Amino acid sequence: MLGQEKAFKIMEEALKHSRADQTELVIMGHEHFLTRYANSQIHQNMAEENATLFIKSIVGKKIGVSTINNFHPRKVARAVENTYEAALKQEEVKDFNGLPGRIEIPAVSTFVPRTLEINPEEKALIVQDMIARTHGDRMTLSGAFYTGASETAVMNSNGVRAYHICTKANITTLTASKDTSGYAAGSSRDVDKLDYIRLVEEALESAGAYNEITTLPPGEYPVILEEYAVADLLLYLAFMGMTADSVEDGHSFITPHAGKKIFKKDISIYDDGLNPDTFMIPFDYEGVPKRRTEFIKEGIVTGEYTQNTYTAGREGKESTGHALPPGAGLSATLPSNLFMEAGNKTNEEMMKQMGTGILIKRFHYLTEVHPLKTIVSGMTRDGVFRVENGEITARVTNMRFTQSIIEAFKHIKSISSNRKLIWFREYTLDFPITLVIPRLYIDKFNFTGQTEF
C-alpha cells in the first residue's frame, strides 16, 4: 500500500507536469490475499499488491484518459503528457462542465490492521477446521477465504484532495455431496468478526436432502427468498434502472414510475456509502462526498438515481457522489452500498405465513431480458426447498425463472427483521459492491422450467 503521504506526493508531482486546462488523478491501490479450497483441500494461495494511477486531462471540452502503474517520476511525467496529447485528438463533449471543486469529506474509520496482518498459516488452520466440520455429514467443502485492503486517493487541479483506506474480509463456503449442495458467505472489515463456524453450519443446512428430492412443474409459486437471492435481484435492478445512464438511455423503470406509489409502504430502497453497516467509502472517484440516495421511499419511486459531476451538471443538479473510476465512461455511475429496509417478521414467522411454497437460497446465471420492465432470467442454486404448513418437507431440484423484479416486489407480503451484508466480491475487489438485505416473502414468482439436478 502506498499510504496517503506517498500517494499525494505522486499525484502532486503529476499535476506539475500537466499542460491541460484541468487534470484529475486517481490512485487505486490494494493488497489482496486469497486462499482457495475445493474438494476439501486447499489448492491455492494468492497474494497481489498493486497500485494504478488514472490520469484524466481536459483541454477545453476535450477529454483524454490513461493509466499507469509505474510511479517513476519520468514515467509519470510522460504518461501525463501522453494523456494531454490524447485529449487534443478527441472530439469535444459539448455538455461537459468541468471537474468538481473541493468539498469537505466526512471522516470514517474502516481500517482494521488485524485483517491485513492475518497470515496464510492462520487462514489454513481455519479452513482445516471448516473442512473437519463437513466430514461428519459426508460433504466436501469448496470456496475461498479472502482478506485484504484497498486504498483510493483523488486529486485534481480544482483543489480536490481525498484519501481513504479500508480492509475487507470474506469467506464463502460451498458444501456438496453427490445429490445436494449448500452455500453460505460472510463479510466484514474485521476478519476476527467472521463466524466461520456458523457459515459452515448454514452451508450444511442448505445442503440437506430432508425427506426426499423432488421436482416441481413450471408455474407461479409463493416463495421466500433468502438474502443472497434478494441481493441478486436488487443488484440487477440497480444495474438496469438506478443510474443516470440508464435514465438517459430510456431503459430505467424510474422514468415511467417517478413520483408514483407502486409498492407497499414498508418497502424502501436506498444507497448510503456512509452507513457503518456496510463497507463505507466516504467519497467517489471524483473526490465528491457520498450522499444518501433514496430510490424507493415507503413504496414511492422518488425519481432519484445515481449521478456524477458530468451527469448532474447536464441536469443542473448536484452529484450524488457515485462516479466510477476514470475510463469507465463519462456518465458511468453505480450504487455500491445498497440497502433494503428491514421488516418485522422472523424467519420462522415468514415460513408460517407462507404456509405452502418454495424456499430459495440464491440465484445464478442471471440475465437481463427487458431492462425497462426489469425482467430477468436465471436459475436457482444451492438450496431449493418445498415448504408445507410452514415446514420444509423436501428438497426441490433447481428451477429456471423469468420474472419482472418490479412485479415480484409488488407481491411482497412480508420482510424479515434481520438483514445480512452481502459483498459481490466476484465483480471487483478494489471497490466493493455491497448490499444490506432482508429476506422476502413474495406470493407470486414465475418459474419457467426445471433441471435434473
Q: What is the mean pLDDT of each run of 10 residues along the chain (453 residues)?
A: 97 97 97 96 95 97 97 97 98 94 93 96 97 88 96 97 96 93 96 97 92 93 98 96 95 96 97 94 96 98 97 95 91 95 97 97 96 97 96 96 98 98 80 93 96 81
Please, how many CA atoms are within 13 Å of residue 49, restricted to the half-sphere of its CB? 3
pLDDT digits (tens, 9 = 90+) for 150-179: 999 999 999 999 999 999 999 999 999 988
pLDDT for 244 equals 96
pLDDT for 432 equals 84
Tell me if the pTM is above 0.85.
Answer: yes
433 φψ region: left (φ > 0), alpha (ψ -120 to 50), beta (else):
beta
pLDDT for 438 equals 98
- Rounded to 5 degrees, φ, ψ at 300 are -100, 135
CB neighbour class for 73 (10 Å; exposed up to 12, middle 13-18, buried from 19)? exposed
Cell of 227: 438474502
Cell of 97: 462542465
pLDDT for 451 equals 85
- Give exposure, 5-19, as e/b (b: 16+ Cβ within 10 Å): eebbebbeebeebbe
The candidate with the shortest Cα–Cα distance to 170, out of 274, 279, 276, 281, is 279
pLDDT for 440 equals 98
3-206, CATH topology level: PmbA/TldD fold (3.30.2290)
- The CA dihedral of 369, 371, 373, 374, to the nearest 10 degrees, is 80
- Rounded to 5 degrees, φ, ψ at 56 are -125, 120
Q: How many whole angstroms from its chain centre is CA 270?
A: 13
- Locate CATH 3.30.2290.10 in the chain: 3-206
pLDDT for 427 equals 67
pLDDT digits (tens, 9 = 90+) for 213-268: 999 999 999 999 999 999 999 999 999 999 999 999 999 999 999 999 999 999 99
Bridge-based pairing state of the strands 269-271 and 219-225: unpaired
The overall longest dimension of the chain from CA atoms, in Å, is 72
pLDDT for 190 equals 98
